[in-house]
Amino acid sequence: MGKGGNQGEGATEREAPMPAFRWEEIQKHNLRTDQWLVIDRKVYNITEWSHRHPGGHRVIGHYAGEDATDVFLAFHRNLDFVRKFMKPLLIGELAPEEPSQDHSKNSQITEDFRALRKTAEDMNLFKSSHLFFLLYLAHIIVMESIAWFTIFYFGNGWIPTVITAFVLATSQAQAGWLQHDYGHLSVYKKSTWNHIAHKFMIGHLKGASANWWNHRHFQHHAKPNIFHKDPDVNMLHVFVLGKWQPIEDLAWAISYYARFFITYIPFYGVLGAIIFLNFIRFLESHWFVWVTQMNHIVMEIDQEPYRDWFSSQLVATCNVEQSFFNDWFSGHLNFQIEHHLFPTMPRHNLHKVAPLVRSLCAKHGIEYQQKPLLQALQDIIRSLRQSGQLWLDAYLHK
């Protein structure tokens, strides 16, 4: 009898109704010191836990007071593992009469996009080709080797030096695209392996910090081209301070500079090697900026409009036509639309999901922008010229 009584008590506890909340109440909790969000109609209080969030407190805080279902699905690979951390944060659910979307977001677009994502999963488009990424890493190592051999064999004259600088700038640009893949957890099934490989790629091959990249880049994906939320349009601080993780990143970064100077100081001396490194960075920076900005800076940049996930990515991104060169040159970021919609999808599958995205855009009358590479680069100049004119009108031609 006692056993039956215990079962009855447990059943009563399990069946106890959860508190129900209306959007009006949830949207009040969008402060830095008071943050709620909704995932699959469940309400979570993330106020304290956000500071332990692996992706940083800012990226999760940007969705305080909103439905975060689609961004949650987009950023996490192992959902069952992540949901274990969510259970203690659960405080209730949406009231039955409340819509699943906040701020009158388009529920039909959201429903159709989730069906599209399910189709992509059924097509195994989130499964990566390890051979693709292995060969990609190999071609970076080959370029690094060619660069050293050029100086070793032909000497440190102007012509070998310039040729080597361009080769190393190319390898650095390609290493940048590769670390981007691991940073988005798009190579291995287990997040841990992606994080380890990312620290190696961005640290040892690039001389940069994985934590710094994560802190900025995930915010950019969560709220692209949104003032005060996307660091790429806010120009926030370059460095991220913290405890042991940034120190670990620093060690990886130091290993890059140690390798570079050990390799090239014998040919150029200390000062010459420093100048040589900065020249390589100068060349690479132009490549990086033109590629990354041709998809974003020409698009809408505004305050928070509270759009659904699909629409918010389409207004902030555009594509560049596919070709073997464009894919290689941009690290497949010529498929920026698809990459933003599915950040964890391996880049070699982005072209496969593109027709489905275009079809969904056509169904809902959303513009899907795709252009030739040269036009995309020219549009950057036009956009900057327009921005400059606005500043002149605002501050000089009053």
Kindly report, residue by residue over 125-162, the tens digit of the pLDDT: 999 999 999 999 999 999 999 999 999 999 999 999 99
H, E, C per residue of 105-167: CCHHHHHHHHHHHHHHHHCCCCCCCHHHHHHHHHHHHHHHHHHHHHHHHHCCCHHHHHHHHHH
Quote the tokens at residue 203.
């640290």
On whether residue 263 sits in a domain, the answer given is yes
pLDDT exceeds 80 at position 166: yes
Whether 179 and 255 map to the same domain: the answer is yes
Given pLDDT bands bounded at 50, 70 and 90, which one contains residue 241? very low
Whether 69 and 153 map to the same domain: the answer is no
The values of phi and psi at residue 185, to 5°, are 60, 35
Whether 32 and 92 map to the same domain: the answer is yes
* CB atoms inside a 10 Å sphere around CB 330: 23
pLDDT of amino acid 263: 96
- The half-sphere exposure of 53 on its side-chain side, counting CA atoms within 13 A, is 25
Element (H, E) at 21: strand 20-21
The values of phi and psi at residue 226, to 5°, are -105, 120
On whether residue 287 sits in a domain, the answer given is no
Tally the domains of the chain.
Answer: 2
Q: Can you give the pTM of this predicted structure?
A: 0.88
Residue where a domain terminates, one of 84, 103, 122: 103
On whether residue 29 sits in a domain, the answer given is yes
pLDDT tens digit sequence for 35-79: 999 999 999 999 999 989 888 889 999 999 999 999 999 999 888
- Domain region containing 70: 20-103
On whether residue 46 sits in a domain, the answer given is yes
In three-state secondary structure terms, 8 is helix
Whether 193 and 272 map to the same domain: the answer is yes
pLDDT exceeds 80 at position 338: yes
Given pLDDT bands bounded at 50, 70 and 90, which one contains residue 237? very low
On whether residue 349 sits in a domain, the answer given is no
Given pLDDT bands bounded at 50, 70 and 90, which one contains residue 246? low
CATH of the domain at 67: 3.10.120.10
Average pLDDT over the chain reads 89
pLDDT tens digit sequence for 90-133: 999 999 999 999 888 899 999 999 999 999 999 999 999 999 99
On whether residue 61 sits in a domain, the answer given is yes
- The half-sphere exposure of 130 on its side-chain side, counting CA atoms within 13 A, is 5
On whether residue 51 sits in a domain, the answer given is yes
Identify the DSSP state of 96: T
pLDDT of amino acid 12: 44
Is residue 179 a contact partner of residue 207, using CB atoms and an 8 Å limit? no
pLDDT exceeds 50 at position 3: no
Closest CA to 224 of 234, 238, 214, 236: 234
Whether 202 and 78 map to the same domain: the answer is no
Whether 273 and 189 map to the same domain: the answer is yes
Whether 99 and 145 map to the same domain: the answer is no
Among 1-5, 357-361, 387-391, where is mean pLDDT lowest?
1-5
In the block, tokens 């002149």 appear at 392
On whether residue 271 sits in a domain, the answer given is yes
Closest CA to 108 of 363, 369, 368, 367: 363
Whether 68 and 145 map to the same domain: the answer is no
Whether 36 and 95 map to the same domain: the answer is yes
